[in-house]
Amino acid sequence: MVKAVVAGASGGIGQPLSLLLKLSPYIDELALYDVVNSPGVAADLSHISTKAKVTGYLPADDGLKAALTGADVVVIPAGIPRKPGMTRDDLFNINAGIVRDLITGIALYSPSAFILIISNPVNSTVPIAAEVLKKHGVFDPKKLFGVTTLDVVRSETFTATVVGKPDPSVFKIPVVGGHSGDTIVPLLSLSEPKVEISDSDRDALVHRIQFGGDEVVQAKEGKGSATLSMAHAGFRFVDSILKAVAGETGVVENTFVYLSGIPGGDTVKSITPGLDFFSVPVELGPSGAVKVINVLSQVSDYEKGLLEVAYTGLAANIKKGVDFIVGAP
Ligand code: NAI
């Protein structure tokens, strides 16, 4: 029996993500938690004729505890999204506290669940989550994931457009680093199938993958950021985890993880300037991350330059997240 929880289920991402999860053959129970409207979203989804039993919870009456108890997977898209002109870091002041409180609930009520963090800034919210879990003595790095799948999805789509392939899903492109602007490093030199593009096309493609989120923020004119493509990406990641839990082998997703806690992670950490968290291709198994796949030693000189820029931004973002918890009383 698999119980999945969406925290932030009534939002722009939360609703379509919950819809996709309701359609999953792997999920038996789907608990929707939000500070508003979650019973309504749950009632709506509960009419769909798939097996997952859907329930909705608000904070009143210990709703967070009821939602989380018995959870196997918790996905967190709670918090405010960007408006035009904002960076993901501008969301820190509000979303850091939201993530801290939800993770505290997980530490208390479902400490062995897989935790998938969508809330931005991911580069900081995942370190926040790790520190909260450490404080409660329940941190399992193999089960804490920052969801950077949308960067992978964008790189597949935009690369297919540049090289004129009709089906983007044929591409496998590692995207490493973090999840904001120039901390996002697509490794086009390792694309499968291989892509032949000019240096100027490559530069434009890398920039579009790094800043693709801005296209959506601008097009929505103040009404939010990516929601539908993010719901797809979040679902893809949950689906991969549940496939691995069900025994499928060779399941790999790029995700922002605590490197030292996963076999192979220290090798990558030693290539970065000692960063604790990094997005890397990770092989998944029944109990979470099985190993970090080191792609950093194969990158091109051009990509080494991109990585140097990413390291600096990431170090600051990670420190900000850690300090938010470690510096707190
Ligand atoms: P939204 O504003 O539409 O939805 C957020 C939901 O969170 C709302 O329903 C709100 O009531 C709920 N919420 C707020 N505080 C809460 C709490 N304490 N507990 C539970 N729920 C709470 O925002 P949207 O567009 O769904 O984005 C959510 C987050 O996802 C944002 O931080 C956004 O930046 C991030 N995001 C991350 C991406 C990624 O690739 N990781 C891509 C796109 C967005």
**pTM, full prediction:** 0.98
Backbone angles phi, psi at 116, to 5 degrees: -115, 115
Determine which one of 47, 136, 179, 207 is catalytic.
179
**Ligand 1 pocket check for 34: Cβ under 6 Å:** yes
74 within 8 A of 8, measured Cβ to Cβ: no
What are the beta bridge partners of residue 73? Answer: 4, 114
Task: Please give the number of the atom of ligand 1 that sits closest to the Cα of 224.
Answer: 25
CA–CA separation, 212 and 154 (whole Å): 7
Map tokens 């995700």 to a residue.
Answer: 255
CA–CA separation, 145 and 258 (whole Å): 8
Within 110-245, where are the H helices?
A: 122-135, 149-163, 199-219, 228-245
**What was the pLDDT predicted at 328?**
67
233 within 8 A of 147, measured Cβ to Cβ: yes
Say how many Å lie between the CA of residue 79 and the centre of ligand 1.
4
Task: Please give the number of the atom of ligand 1 that sits closest to the Cα of 88.
Answer: 34
**Ligand 1 pocket check for 8: Cβ under 6 Å:** yes
Closest CA to 261 of 283, 289, 297, 285: 289
Indicate the helix (H) or strand (E) that contains 267.
helix 265-271
pLDDT in tens, 171-228: 999 999 999 999 999 999 999 999 999 999 999 999 999 999 999 999 999 899 999 9
**Ligand 1 pocket check for 68: Cβ under 6 Å:** no
Q: Which amino acid is at 279?
A: S
Task: Please give the number of the atom of ligand 1 that sits closest to the Cα of 118.
Answer: 41
* Residue bearing the CA closest to ligand 1, atom 28: 77
Closest CA to 288 of 323, 329, 253: 253
Q: What percent of the chain has pLDDT over 90?
A: 96
**What was the pLDDT predicted at 78?**
98
The two tokens of residue 268 are 């990558």
Residue to mutate (ligand 1; options 68, 99, 118, 175; most atoms within 8 A of CB): 118
Query: Is it true that the peptide bond before 127 is cis, omega within 30 degrees of 0?
Result: no
169 within 8 A of 156, measured Cβ to Cβ: yes
Say how many Å lie between the CA of residue 205 and the centre of ligand 1.
27
Mean pLDDT, 10 residues at a time, the chain of 329 residues: 98 98 98 98 98 98 98 97 89 96 98 98 98 98 98 98 95 98 98 96 98 95 95 98 98 98 97 97 98 97 98 97 88
CA–CA separation, 266 and 262 (whole Å): 8
**What was the pLDDT predicted at 83?**
85
CA 296 to chain centre: 20
Residue to mutate (ligand 1; options 89, 95, 225, 228; most atoms within 8 A of CB): 225
Question: Is 232 considered catalytic here?
Answer: no
The pairing of strands 175-177 and 184-186 is: antiparallel
Say how many Å lie between the CA of residue 118 and the centre of ligand 1.
8
Map tokens 């076999």 to a residue.
Answer: 263
CA–CA separation, 98 and 78 (whole Å): 7
CA–CA separation, 76 and 6 (whole Å): 6
Closest CA to 124 of 184, 177, 178, 76: 178
